Amino acid sequence: MRTRELGQTGIEVSAYCLGTMMFGPVGNPDHDECVRMTHRALDAGVNFVDTADVYGYSETEEIVGKALKGRRDDVVLATKVNGRMGEGPNRHGSSRRWIIAEVEQSLRRLQTDYIDLYQIHHPDPRTDIEETLSALTDLVRSGKVRAIGSSNLPPSEIVQAQWVSERRALHRLRTEQPTYSILNRGIEREVLPVCRRYGLGVLVWGPLSSGLLTGRYRKGTPPAESARMHWVPRHLTDERKLDAVERLITVAEEAGMSLAHLAMAFATTHPDVSAAVIGPRTMEQLEDLLAGATITLGDDILDTIDEIVPPGTDIGPLDISYDPPAVTHPALRRRPAGDRAAA
């Protein structure tokens, strides 16, 4: 397993990061199998594990804690805070109140006294970034957290966070976790260049485009409703994406590899990507992903991919991607009716 530097943290991480969103009730409810999968990944050279408090309604962190017993010092452990963790107006978000309270719960569930990388799971428009960075700084100074990062942060907010840290003498965000795949290359325009400018490590999620780049979903074959989600994600029926997948399958076949291996190799080829998050649900899926860990792509294949999906473009969003309020709230995009009439 290849390793890379995690930005300028001085930490070396494996090119594959074991994502654990599928461990627990929304994916694989068998704790023992999830523990075995974690051990198999570690034995294969993966030293980077990513989870979140909200995964499995907190159950996932408990599974990860069991899996890392006796091996904690060999692992770079990342988790996240921000998602809703229960009833009440203050049991989510990026406020000092919630961060300081919730990190204690994550430490307990993970059975550890420190977290290597503590990430803000989503932007929180309600909370001043200085409030968030101040709380995270205190956690670093206390030794409970080694480094801090963000996930799904727009480039302008990455820059803003860096400026606030400099002006207020606060710890800087050291990593960013955006979505990135052959089908969703939008971060190549601004997010990755901004991360390079500030020396941020980048661990990308969704390199298989939530299943589209596994080859399981083909044009003309409607996907079955997921027994776990009870719905069919819209991106699995996006004709533009399915057309691209058909062309990419041909590219993979001609190169003598599976589509999933092509997709993972693409995600880890970019020089600004420190690691790509894999999210297996079964041991079979994990073994297949590990089998492609040493694959590299030549310029000829990368040029062909660029022709199918041009650099810096997204072929439609993923259903679980973060959209900022400026996009989701019509009131932020439209003048009041009275003002429009007067104009």
The pLDDT value given to residue 230: 53
What 3-state DSSP class applies to 77? strand
Q: Which of 16, 55, 118, 180 is an active site residue?
A: 55
What value, to the nearest 5°, has the Cα angle with vertex 155 and ends 326 and 9? 145
The topology under which CATH files domain 3-316 is TIM Barrel (3.20.20)
The per-residue pLDDT string of the chain (343 residues; one tens digit each, 9 = 90 and over) reads 899 999 999 999 999 999 999 999 999 999 999 999 999 999 999 999 999 999 999 999 999 999 999 999 999 999 999 999 999 899 999 999 999 999 999 999 999 999 999 999 999 999 999 999 999 999 999 999 999 999 999 999 999 999 999 999 999 999 999 999 999 999 999 999 999 999 999 999 999 998 899 988 787 776 665 545 555 567 777 889 999 999 999 999 999 999 999 999 999 999 999 999 999 999 999 999 999 999 999 999 999 999 999 999 999 776 666 777 777 778 877 877 766 565 5
* Rounded distance between C-alpha atoms, residue 271 and residue 30, angstroms: 36
pLDDT at position 319 is 61
Distance CA 310, CA 307 (A): 6
Amino acid at 58: S
Structure confidence at residue 232 (pLDDT): 58
- Residue 55 known to be catalytic: yes
Strands 16-19 and 3-5: unpaired
